[in-house]
Amino acid sequence: MTSNPRPSREQGILVQEVDGLTYELDSAPKKNGRKIVIHVRLGEATFTDRVDLYAFRSRSAFATQVAETFARKPDDVLGHLALVLDTIERSQVERKPESVVLTEARKRAAERLLQAPDLLDRAAHALESLGYVGEEQVKRIVYLVATSRLLARPLSGILFASSGAGKSELLDRVAQLIPDESVEFLSRVTPQALYYAGQDHLRHKLVLVDEQAGASEADYAIRTLQSKGYLRLAVPVRGRVESFEARGPIALLSGTTRETLNPENVSRCLELSLDDSAEQTKRVQEAQRRAWAGEKAKAIDTVPWQDAQRLLEPLDVVIPFASHLDYPSRTTKDRRDNAKLLSLVAAHALLHQFQREKDGRRRVVATLDDYRIIYGLLRPLVDQELDGLSPRASTLFRSLLDAPSFTRREAAAHLSWGYNTVKRALAELLAQELVKVTEHETPKRYALLDGSLASAAALKSPEELCLSLPGDCRRIAKPSVDART
């Protein structure tokens, strides 16, 4: 397939040639359901029709007609349209400023923030001031994932929740604390789009995908960028091969309502389930009522937070006590989960780099305090996790270990979950043959078949870690007073 990788504009018309066919669009396609006029030309022959490039049925019908007109294969024409859409989306990407010059006053304010020992707690409070209530554990982890974009191997996270639980809102609020030039928001990623992003445009960026389904077409590219840190693509253009390269690393955050995702994608991400309990719903409702009553929270200035992130350097991190840490070793999945634990410790140390010592190679030296915070955040996730189960199904499994039998309503009341949430988690346990139906009459009653999976090894506590370390543990735990010396 040959293509001009950049669309030209002639009197407002987008023009692109692919495999000898010239596609002319009267306007750029938009995700509003409206069709645009496309002219397809081959020599003197022309085919014109209206099509919605974002609707598969419309796109497929158009491709069939073009294929019949010019003796091409419909699949080839679909590939042309995908390339045209990729190219247009690339040309429309807003290039944000690569650098911001801070005044002395702004720099001092950002440095004071970076010197705060409770920096992560302040970040969580800032998110609440921006309107995101509750979710104390997830807010902190997500902010660390965003900060990890500066590591050589950043973290990624997927937010699991039902529709309306606040996935998009959390991503939006976190983005407000990160500099604009360090955030790339994508509502949809086509298969080739990331390859054409530009050599350094994605480097150390936080990439936000509102809904994981919007990135499903680019799963392979995203996984490659996460694992290898770069993408390379060779494309034949007018008889010669042109290479495109996009460099990472990137930190990725996305949300989904789907129960099943590509295991290759999930294994590279922290799986974070949002709280859909009645208590969290009450917190959200109370915040909504306060807002309508005019009792808005005190406005927060996000500029110091963005400037603080601008002052952070993409430094390497060393964890001197890493060899003394433990992680459950049940399955191969725990290999990557162990790496995520270490990366979270590194991200916390990197966030506090103004308070941490540097070694002779200018690496940030993590302290026991870094592990203590991450232990507190991860311990609930590790304790609840069971091999092969989603966090939601794991929680249901553990909560019913001592129950002789239960109905869906009883499980929902026990966990303060919605009925449909229990229904989905229970369906997963049934599929894994961990639960059986004991009474088929309505309401059905269920009982656990096997409780042995609950005996997973726990993380090493900070106190246990301290006892296993040689020398003065307090010295390792204490941050440096001035990390810039």
DSSP-assigned letters across all residues of 375-432? HHHHHHHHHH--TT--HHHHHHHHHTTT-S-B-HHHHHHHHT--HHHHHHHHHHHHHT
List the Cα angle 192/196/197 in 5-degree steps: 115
Fold annotation for 104-309: Rossmann fold (3.40.50)
Neighbours of 39 (CB within 10 A): 15
pLDDT (mean) for 259-276: 69
Neighbours of 421 (CB within 10 A): 20
Please report the pLDDT score of residue 182 as a whole number. Answer: 93
Please report the pLDDT score of residue 296 as a whole number. Answer: 66
Four-residue CA torsion sign, 353, 356, 361, 362: positive
Residue 456 has pLDDT above 50, yes or no: no
Residue 2 has pLDDT above 50, yes or no: no
pLDDT (mean) for 39-51: 90
Residue 333 has pLDDT above 60, yes or no: yes
Of 230-244, 279-293, 308-322, 416-430, highest mean pLDDT: 308-322
Greater confidence, 306 or 380?
306
Please report the pLDDT score of residue 258 as a whole number. Answer: 62
Answer yes or no: are the C-beta atoms of 217 and 223 closer than 8 Å: no
Using pLDDT thresholds of 50, 70 and 90, give the confidence band for residue 13. very low
Please report the pLDDT score of residue 346 as a whole number. Answer: 96
d(CA 327, CA 343): 13
Using pLDDT thresholds of 50, 70 and 90, give the confidence band for residue 321. very high
Domain spans, the chain: 8-92, 104-309, 315-385+479-485, 391-454
Of 362, 350, 314, 344, the residue nearest 114 (C-alpha): 350
pLDDT (mean) for 40-49: 90
d(CA 325, CA 165): 35
Of 275, 261, 306, 318, the residue nearest 146 (C-alpha): 306
Residue with tokens 């014109």: 48
Please report the pLDDT score of residue 441 as a whole number. Answer: 82
Please report the pLDDT score of residue 230 as a whole number. Answer: 83
Find the helix or strand (DSSP H, E) in which 42 lies: strand 36-42
Residue 383 has pLDDT above 80, yes or no: no
Of 127-131, 332-336, 420-424, highest mean pLDDT: 127-131
Phi, then psi, of 440 in degrees rounded to 5: -85, -15
Please report the pLDDT score of residue 480 as a whole number. Answer: 40
Using pLDDT thresholds of 50, 70 and 90, give the confidence band for residue 106. very high
What percent of the chain is predicted at pLDDT more than 90? 27
Answer yes or no: are the C-beta atoms of 393 and 433 closer than 8 Å: no
Answer yes or no: are the C-beta atoms of 380 and 456 closer than 8 Å: no
Q: Strand 230-237 and strand 240-247: pairing?
A: antiparallel
Please report the pLDDT score of residue 345 as a whole number. Answer: 96
Structure tokens at 284: 């959200």
Answer yes or no: are the C-beta atoms of 377 and 371 closer than 8 Å: no
pTM of structure: 0.69
Greater confidence, 411 or 399?
411
Dihedral Cα 185, 189, 193, 195, nearest 10 deg: 80
Residue 445 has pLDDT above 80, yes or no: yes
d(CA 103, CA 109): 10
Answer yes or no: are the C-beta atoms of 265 and 215 closer than 8 Å: no
E strands, 140-194, are: 156-160, 183-186
Of 371, 379, 352, 364, the residue nearest 468 (C-alpha): 371
pLDDT (mean) for 205-225: 74
β-sheet bridge partners, residue 63: none
What percent of the chain is predicted at pLDDT more than 70? 79
Residue 95 has pLDDT above 60, yes or no: no
Of 144-148, 262-266, 424-428, 448-452, highest mean pLDDT: 144-148
d(CA 91, CA 306): 27
d(CA 154, CA 166): 24
Answer yes or no: are the C-beta atoms of 275 and 380 closer than 8 Å: no
Phi, then psi, of 244 in degrees rounded to 5: -125, 140
pLDDT (mean) for 432-436: 79
Pick the CATH number of 391-454 from 3.40.50.150, 3.40.50.2300, 1.10.10.10, 1.20.58.2050: 1.10.10.10
* pLDDT tens per residue, range 279-305: 888 888 888 888 788 776 677 899 999
Please report the pLDDT score of residue 5 as a whole number. Answer: 43
What is the DSSP annotation of 426-463? HHHHHHTTSEEEEE-SSSPEEEES--GGG-PPPPPPHH
* pLDDT tens per residue, range 384-406: 555 566 777 877 887 777 778 88
Mean residue pLDDT across the chain:
80
d(CA 162, CA 139): 17
